[in-house]
Each structure stands twice: as structure tokens, then as C-alpha cells.
Amino acid sequence: MATSSNDIAVRGPGPRAGDPPMTPELVADHGLSAEEYERIIDILGREPTFTELGVFSALWSEHCGYKNSRPLLRKLPTEAPWVLQGPGENAGVIDIGDGFAIAFKIESHNHPSAVEPYQGAATGVGGILRDVFTMGARPIAVLDALRFGSLARPRVRYLFAGVVKGIGDYGNCVGIPNLGGDVYFDDAYEGNPIVNAMAIGLMKKEDLIRGTASGPGNPIIAVGARTGRDGIHGATFASEELSEENEARRPQVQVGDPFTEKLLLEASLELIRSGHIVGIQDMGAAGLASSSSEMAARAGTGVDMDTSKMPTREPGMTPYEILLSESQERMLVVAKAGREADVERILNKWELEAAVIGQVTDDGLYRVRENGVTVCEIPGVELVQGCPTYVREARESDEVRRLREFRPGPAHLSPAQSNPGRVLLRLLASPTIASKRWVYNQYDTTVRTNTVLGPGGDAGVLRIRGTRRGLAATVDCNGRYVYLDPRKGAMIAVAEAARNIVCVGARPRAVTDNLNFGSPLKPENYYQLREAVLGMADACRAFDTPVVSGNVSLYNESPAGAIYPTPVIGMVGVLDDVESRIGAAFRTTGDTIILLGACTDELGASEYLKVLHGVTAGEVPAISLEGERALQEAILEMTGARLLCSAHDCAEGGVAVALAESAILAEDAFGVDAAIDSPLALAPLLFGEAQGRIVVSCAAQSAESVLAVAARHGVPAAAIGTVGRAGAEERFRLSAGGTTMDLSVAAIAEAYETAIPKLMDRSSGRDV
């Protein structure tokens, strides 16, 4: 091809009529630094067009480009023999045996949910489901990790109710059971709630497909909902702090349509199985721009697309808008050349619209046209992988260091000493500890008829149809711990997730993580991020649970400040025999209750200090990764040998809360008669949050075997009592240090079950 020297000088698209001129302000508005803009000019060899600026802005946002987190994320272990797909794809994939694999990932929708809770949360579920089924897996479970401010505030109640309804309505309509989640309430999340949704999909190993645009000449097809002006720059929005003006951001929140999602789900799985396509990806964050460029970059190809071929909801949309729209329920498919009609037939069956908008090329360029005229031409690899990464200044905040030096005094210990029963009831009624039935009763937890253990226990369990296996999943993170000690707190988050997995009898297998943090530009926040990732890395390595997917959500700040750093751990585990699963609830009168692990005098960072004294301070409980691993192995040996009737880990509220929960989680609550022999003060003994402890129950004749297994693994263990009779009038008796708390089971259940409904349904006075 003949090329004049002039062509080389002005290579690339010229300005497009109607686009604003390039100014430093425009660049700054796109969240790009001067240095990053220089890098763009270096890559292009010229100034970018407005369209190109928008594309760079989206792909180089934290949400897509991980520019502040990527150097840290490299510290995480990502490999194990059972890992089929690690980070970098739509979702991570692991082998669970018998020819099956699961794809799973967690993702945040914090900022949209802060502005429009219902749609923000609903579209979060929609996006994460698409990430899973675009790997070829049928979604089988959703979990949700939520953090809000205090329910005493009307605005928080509005956000909480809207988020729960949004998550429920979307997952319920698509027909994916909710398997579990966690909810914490703390003022630290007041202006910036956390809404993380995790999805798990199941597939035959051979059905695994990746989001690649390979094969020059293959057509690129946009499928699903039409493209509108909603959600433009959502990825950039997610990568900045929330401010007073965020109410005006409502138009950046997309609107979900779970019915179309269900059609997309069925059509996508049929397309993948048909063999007519080579790659498929959700048009999620940063829409067409990110999906098309990432698919090409993975395959080392280029693309040539024309935005005028994209079905839109309204006329007159610019290439900039079409590329960056985050309209929901859209997929990008790369088909095999010549199979367009076959693809169309499948999509027609599911009543989905589709349009060929371009094709794969071999020149490595990300080229976009409008009515044939090039408006964007960027070297593809640089666009996707050339985002500069930063190692920021890290410095622990002096305030946090001071808070950690706090030590509880006699006044802090006295409520537990004088009336431990009253303390227990107050802790059980703390919304963070109290039953979340108000939440999960709004979710369909049993559709697809695989749910063996639903929400409300330590981890959810599904059976894998056609095998003997089961799959367990949980999400966990105590942000208060991470705030007071990021490295230890993150280790504890991983350890708690693993404890929850083994408590149902499953072996921990892999992790997806959602790093919810404040702005990395502030040294104290970056310090939290760095230390938390290092802590996670150590724990994941110790437990053989590689991180195979995840999401980074920075800039979680409101005018009141940053949230607690909250690295939510989504963990999955496998049961070789699902029949060996156990729940958290006691099962049979007369069973022996055994406490595994050691009680300590630790009270720092506890829910006790928060609820009784309004104190968020002190040393975070010590964690021993070897000790945790030994505890996990001990429990798995016990469940494998069918020695246990129940297992429940001690978390917020300590051993007293764990015992009370095991007593009342059964449909018929059980009485308890227990005594803990220890010289420790009652506050740390009963309500301290020492790590590495699990309350189990077993038939009386198995108690000796359980203690023997524990001893063999070097796990401290003590028989502390027996399960009493079932019935609301039965007593919960727990003695320690010469004092006995003696409560009716009904009072315990009342405190635990009604706390959140009372706060939420004060007006209606009905519906639990």
C-alpha cells in the first residue's frame, strides 16, 4: 500500500466535529494525571482524539487498570494444581473433581449503591453473574458481603433496605440461589456502604471458554440490550471519592433488567456449547471499550469496529458515548467467520437482539470508526497493559497506632463480671452479630434444588448433582480488625473464611478477593492496602488457597473519611462426600459440647468493647497460621470420620455468642449446660475474640475420639458441657469464674432474631 509521508506524520484519526478540544482540564476531568497523558501521547505519537481520551480514561481507571494495586496484587499466590484459570479473566476457575469445574468471582458496586441502592446493588449482581457465565459456567450461587453505617439513621435504613431488595430481586428473577453472606454495621461505612456480590458457576471442564478475540476476520457481535447513555464513565466514577455532589451522579448508575439477563444467560451457554463462537465477554465496567480491547489484548489481535452499527436506544449517540456506556445486560461475542447465521438463530430463539459491529484484525490496533471514518486508533496492548502502575507512599496513621495501644481497664471488664447474661443479650442484639434472617428471607435460597445448607450458618453448601461432592462457600472480613492492624486483620479474614469452610466439612480450595479501601493517594490508606495484601498473601499461602480472581475498589471515602479497609475474602471449599456436611446448630439432646482452641485474655478490637463501651481500639487478636491450619485439619478429620454433629466458629462476641448461636439456630432451640474452667477475667474469656476456636458438638460416646483427634493435631480441646433439651422454656447456662449466666432460650432467640426487624420494621410492626 502506498503511504505518503504526510500520512505518517498525522497517522491516526483527525478531530471529530462536535468533540471538545483537548485541554488540561478535560484531561483532568477524565481522571488522568499529566504524567499519564504524556504516556498516552508517547503511545500514540500524537495527541489523542476525544474518543481516545475517553477510552484511555476508562481502561486506565483503577477499576480496569489496577494502577495502584497491580504491584501489590503480584504478591498474592495464584497457583495450585487445581487452578484452571487464575486472575486476568472474567472469573477464576478451579477443578473440583469428577470432571467438573467452578468459575467464581466477587465484585463491588459500592459507589452506585451509595447513590441508588436498589439499582446499584441489582446491577452488581447482574455483572458478576455475566462474568461467570461468560466462562461457560452456569451460575449456581450468589453470595453478598455488605457493610453499612448505623441502622439508627434513616438514610442507612434506606440504603440497607434498597440494597437487599436489589440483590434479592435480581438473583431471584434470574433463578440463582443465595448461599450466604455477611453484614456489618459501623459508622465507618456511613457515607460509603460496601456492596460486594460473589457468583459461582458450575461447568464441565471441557466447556471452559475464555474472553478472547482470536482469529483475524472473525466477526464481533454485540448481543443483548440496546446501548443507551446510562452509566457512561461508571468505571471512572468507581475510581474516585464520593462527595456531596454524588446525588447528581444518579445518571451514572445503570438500570438492571434481570429478565433480559436470564435470556442472555441461556443464550450464552447455548452459544458456548454450540461451538460457533471463539470468545465471549460481558460489556461491564467501561462497556464496549474494555470488553473489546481486553478480548483483543488477550488474543494478541486487533479489532476494527464501527459504532454506527451498534444498536442504540436513542439516535445521535457519539462514538465516545457508545464505547463508554455501561448499559446493562449486553455481551460481546466473537464468532467464527461464516457462523453468523447460526449465532443469530440461537439469539433469535432467546428473543435477543444482535448486530455485527466489526471484526478481528491482525494489526494489533484498537480501531473504532463512525460511519466508516476512524475516530480511535490505539495500539491495543498498550491500551490494556500500558497503564502506568504506582507504588505509593505508605505510612501508618499515628491515630491508629495510638488506638492500638489501648488496653481495657477494670471499668471495661466490669459489665461482664457483674452480669454476663445481660452482656450476652446485648451482643446478640447488636446488628452485626444478630440474625440476618431479615436479609436472606428476601432471597430465594433453594431454587435449582441443590442447596444443602443455606445462609445463616458458617458457610453455604450445595450438592453437585451427578456426583457425591458438595461445594461450600463463604464471604468474610472484619474491617475493624483490618483498620486497627491491616496485616493481622487481613490474615484473620482469610483464617475466618477457612474456619467457616471447614466447619461445614469442606476443604478450603481457593479465594476471590474484593479489596475495598480508601484513596491510595493518602499514605495511611496505601499503607492499609499494602499491609492487608501482604497479610492475605501469607494466609492464602499457608492454607493452600490461591487467589484466582478478584476486584479492587479504592476511593471508598465520603466527606466523613475513609471506610474501614475491608478486604472481603470469598472462599470456596469442596466436600468429597456432601453427606458428611454438618451445620452450626446443635442437633441432639445429650450431645457433648467441645471447645477447640484456646481462650486468651485478649479483648482488643472486640464487638464487646464497641457495643458496651463504644470503643474501637486495642490490639487485634493474635493469629497463628500454623495453629489455624492444624485446627482446619483436625476438624476435617473429625467430619470425615463423621464424629461431629455440629461445628461453629467463634467470631464476633466470642465463645458465649458462638454457644448461644449453636443453641438457637436449630428450628427447635436447645438448652445448654456448659462451664469453662479458666482463671481469665470473664470479659475476655466469654466475649473476647481469640482466634482459632471452634465450638463443636458430638455424641457423648464420640467425645473421647474428638479429643484424641484434636490432641494429635496439637489443637487444645476441652469438653465444656452438654446440649440440653429442646424447647423455648429451656435454659442456657454457662458458668465461668464462679459466675453462671442463666438465661431462657426464648430470651436468647428473641434478642438474636428480632434485633434487625425491630430496627427496620418499626412502622409496619409485622414481617420477620
Give the interface segment with other proteins, choosing from 6-14, 438-446, 610-618, 627-635 (CB under 8 A): 438-446
Least distance between other proteins and beta carbon 264 (Å):
11
**What's the CA gap between 232 and 54, in Å, rounded?**
10
Among 168, 219, 287, 479, binds other proteins (CB under 8 A): 168
Residue 135 vs 263, nearer CB to other proteins: 263
Q: x-or-dash pattern for other proteins, window 348-387, by CB under 8 A?
A: --xx------------------------------------
**Closest by CA position to 462, among listed 146, 142, 80:** 142
Verify binding: residue 118, other proteins, rule CB under 8 A: no
Verify binding: residue 174, other proteins, rule CB under 8 A: yes
Verify binding: residue 472, other proteins, rule CB under 8 A: no
**What's the CA gap between 563 and 395, in Å, rounded?**
17
Residue 762 vs 766, nearer CB to other proteins: 766
Q: Within a 13 Å sphere around the CA of 449, how many CA atoms are in the beta-carbon half? A: 2
Least distance between other proteins and beta carbon 767 (Å):
4
Verify binding: residue 758, other proteins, rule CB under 8 A: no
**What's the CA gap between 139 and 90, in Å, rounded?**
13
Grid coordinates 435477543 are at which residue? Answer: 352
Least distance between other proteins and beta carbon 645 (Å):
14
Verify binding: residue 180, other proteins, rule CB under 8 A: no
Give the interface segment with other proteins, choosing from 105-113, 152-160, 209-217, 255-263 (CB under 8 A): 255-263
**What's the CA gap between 314 and 48, in Å, rounded?**
27
In 208-257, the DSSP E strands lie at 219-224
Verify binding: residue 763, other proteins, rule CB under 8 A: no
C-alpha grid cell, residue 177? 440461589
- Dihedral angle, C-alpha 570, 96, 130, 367, nearest 10 °: 100
**What's the CA gap between 309 and 319, in Å, rounded?**
11
**Closest by CA position to 218, among listed 292, 326, 155, 150:** 292
Tell me if residue 222 falls in helix, strand or coil. strand
Among 16, 226, 422, 448, binds other proteins (CB under 8 A): 448
**Closest by CA position to 240, among listed 116, 119, 36, 68:** 68
Verify binding: residue 441, other proteins, rule CB under 8 A: yes
Residue 178 vs 553, nearer CB to other proteins: 178
C-alpha grid cell, residue 14? 483527525
Which are the contacts of 654, defined by CB distance < 8 A and separation ≥ 6?
A: 606, 608, 684, 686, 687, 688, 689, 690
Helix axes 654-664, 745-760, angle to 10 degrees: 90
Please count the residues of this chain forming the interface with other proteins, following the rule CB under 8 A: 36
Among 371, 385, 418, 446, binds other proteins (CB under 8 A): 446
**What's the CA gap between 479 and 605, in Å, rounded?**
10
Which are the contacts of 173, defined by CB distance < 8 A and separation ≥ 6?
A: 258, 259, 261, 262
Task: Return phi, psi of residue 282, to 5°.
Answer: -65, 140
Among 258, 420, 604, 654, binds other proteins (CB under 8 A): 258
Least distance between other proteins and beta carbon 247 (Å):
25
Least distance between other proteins and beta carbon 177 (Å):
9
Strand pairing partners for 104?
92, 200
Least distance between other proteins and beta carbon 437 (Å):
8
Residue 257 vs 689, nearer CB to other proteins: 257
Q: Which of these is catalytic: 30, 63, 111, 648? A: 63
Verify binding: residue 589, other proteins, rule CB under 8 A: no
Residue 96 vs 548, nearer CB to other proteins: 96
Verify binding: residue 538, other proteins, rule CB under 8 A: no
648 is catalytic: no
**What's the CA gap between 562 and 555, in Å, rounded?**
8
Verify binding: residue 512, other proteins, rule CB under 8 A: no
Strand pairing partners for 112?
none
Stated as kind and residue range, the H or E segment containing 474 is strand 470-476
CB 272 within 8 A of CB 203: no
Verify binding: residue 169, other proteins, rule CB under 8 A: yes
Residue 65 vs 456, nearer CB to other proteins: 456
Residue 263 vs 547, nearer CB to other proteins: 263
Verify binding: residue 125, other proteins, rule CB under 8 A: no
Among 452, 574, 638, 686, binds other proteins (CB under 8 A): 452
Least distance between other proteins and beta carbon 328 (Å):
13
Stated as kind and residue range, the H or E segment containing 263 is helix 258-274
Residue 168 vs 535, nearer CB to other proteins: 168
Among 36, 294, 326, 444, binds other proteins (CB under 8 A): 444
Verify binding: residue 428, other proteins, rule CB under 8 A: no
Least distance between other proteins and beta carbon 259 (Å):
3
β-strands 566-575, 507-516 pairing: antiparallel
Strand pairing partners for 475?
570
111 is catalytic: no
Verify binding: residue 566, other proteins, rule CB under 8 A: no
Verify binding: residue 172, other proteins, rule CB under 8 A: yes
Verify binding: residue 451, other proteins, rule CB under 8 A: yes
In 243-311, the DSSP E strands lie at 277-282, 302-306
**What is the edge-to-edge ordering of all strands in the sheet holding 302-306?**
277-282, 330-335, 219-224, 354-361, 302-306, 365-370, 373-379
Among 186, 241, 257, 628, binds other proteins (CB under 8 A): 257
Give the interface segment with other proteins, choosing from 69-77, 162-170, 365-373, 707-715 (CB under 8 A): 162-170
**Closest by CA position to 66, among listed 325, 285, 214:** 285
Least distance between other proteins and beta carbon 161 (Å):
9
Which residues make up the interface to other proteins (CB under 8 A)? 165, 168-169, 172-175, 178, 257-260, 262-263, 350-351, 440-452, 463, 465, 578-579, 764, 766-767
Task: Provide the annotated active-site residues.
Answer: 63, 109
